Structure 1
Amino acid sequence: MSISEIKNEAKRSLNGKWGAAVLVTFIFFLFNTLLSFFGEILIAGGLNEWWNQEQTPIEANLFNIILSIILLPLSTAFYWVFLHVSRHESIKVSQLFTIYSNGKWVLKIIGASILIAIFLVLWSLLLIIPGIIKSFSYSQTFFILRDRPELSILEAITESKKLMKGYKWKFFLMNLSFIGWAILCIFTLGIGLLWLAPYVTTSMAVFYNYLIDHYQDHADKEAII
């Protein structure tokens, strides 16, 4: 499947669901922004104090770090929503937050995010390029965890590396192909991201579906041989 075919499949999957997709994206961005905004105001002691503060207090920085960790499952759920879309399933705003109903899921996603970040930092200590390449290798981890929750974090990372073997360059080019749309979003003051984010994320999900189908076909052929 070519990059253009992947993107066309993403658009077909989103056909008739653009309204819901934009709404989910808007709530996702709004939720992240408002939590950080109101948290900093609360720490500052009020809106006026927050507005007049000359530098961000340490407490606010710590709050943002903790908040970023807490919101990691929400970011993963956002990707999962569009995995549903790529498989022509329904899309609901509630799908963004159901992940928090399972404590094990929350801890697993946070753990996977932190572990991948550590791996990437270690690879980047060598050179920037190896770190970028490894980020492509690990890119399917959270989709895999959605489909195969029985896997451990390291097992999911290993499976991602297997899926991405020989496809990292294609994944890079697919992401690069959206740069023109991203530049246009700047001229819409970011509003265009409400449409671009679903398009990009659904394309990534279609890419993942293609990988697992291709990997399974290859495994079946080897079993026959």
Structure 2
Amino acid sequence: MKNYELKNLAKDRLEGRYGGAIRVLCLSYLISWLTRLVINNVAGNTMASVYSMTSSRNAAIAVSVFFNGLLLLATVILGVMNAGITLYFLNLASGQQPVVKDLFYGFRNDSKKALGISAALTLCHAVCLWPSQYLFQHFLEAQEARWIMYALIALAIGLCVYVPISLGISLSFYLMLDFPQNSGKETLKLCWRLMRGNRKRLFLLELGFLPLLLLCLLSFGIGFLWLEPYMHMTYTCFFLDMMNPKN
């Protein structure tokens, strides 16, 4: 199916059912936001206490590294909810009755597999994009123009690596649900193999959402309440089309 056909199909599947999809996505974002807020607040207070007691910048940096690792671990665990979000939209697309508790499917079933896939997606993002974020943060602290140049170079290199890899494994949670007999590693390999020849399609599909993303920003973020379900359903339709081609 062409991209505009996938988007039209997604609209049809969501007609009259936006409310439940919005609730599930808002709940997942709320849980993630609260978890990160708690970790960041504890990290900031701990760093301030350690520095005031020791007057050692190295000790404060060590605490920061520890909490960054903790935040990375939390991101992997929170990523398991993506298995539940995927299940919710698959049920919605196939005419089944989705429920809010689908969000926690990955914690109740195949949790080890879901954690492995979440770790792969999270580490891909961290390894490719964190260097540029670190360099940009250093620029804000040092206020030296050369650091912003380093950050932009690191970002360009990181995106060149991140985009093809992330596209290649982005549908792994769908395959985890479709092939429950496979291990996490086998699921990632299968996704990588199936996405050959489909990565460009998915990339162009994602680019097609850019105008809507800009409009949502102009609406002070309110539009994201409807755009996020629409995007998730479009990706679900893309997966179903990829697994069941017309020919």
Whether TM-score is above 0.5 comes out as: yes
- State the Cα distance separating 1:4 from its structure 2 match: 0.7
Q: Do the aligned residues in 1 keep the contact of 2:116 with 2:184 (CA within 8 Å)? A: yes
Could you tell me the TM-score, scaled by structure 2's length?
Answer: 0.72
Show the counterpart of 1:83.
90
Q: How many residues align?
A: 206
Show the counterpart of 1:223.
none
Flag the 1:127–1:26 CA change in 2: closer, same or farther, 3 A: closer
Structure 2: unaligned runs, 5 residues or longer: 50-59, 129-153
Show the counterpart of 2:77.
70
CA distance in structure 1 between the partners assigned to 2:105 and 2:114 by the alignment: 13
**Residue 107 of structure 1: which of 105, 112, 132 is its match?**
112
Is residue 155 from structure 1 mapped to residue 168 from structure 2 by the alignment? Answer: no
Show the counterpart of 1:31.
31
| Higher RCO, 1 vs 2 (CA within 8 Å, ≥6 residues apart) | 1
Flag the 1:31–1:116 CA change in 2: closer, same or farther, 3 A: closer
CA distance in structure 1 between the partners assigned to 2:124 and 2:33 by the alignment: 28
Show the counterpart of 1:10.
10
Q: Do the aligned residues in 2 keep the contact of 1:17 with 1:91 (CA within 8 Å)? A: no
- State the Cα distance separating 1:22 from its structure 2 match: 1.1
Could you tell me the TM-score, scaled by structure 1's length?
Answer: 0.78
Specify the structure having the higher radius of gyration (Cα): 2
- Coordinate RMSD, CA, aligned: 3.0
Q: Which amino acid in 2 is paired with 1:23?
A: R
CA distance in structure 2 between the partners assigned to 1:106 and 1:112 by the alignment: 10
Q: Which amino acid in 2 is paired with 1:195?
A: W
CA distance in structure 2 between the partners assigned to 1:200 and 1:146 by the alignment: 19
**Residue 165 of structure 1: which of 196, 200, 207 is its match?**
196
Structure 1: unaligned runs, 5 residues or longer: 50-54, 219-225
What percentage of aligned pairs have identical amino acids? Answer: 25
Q: Do the aligned residues in 1 keep the contact of 2:106 with 2:114 (CA within 8 Å)? A: no
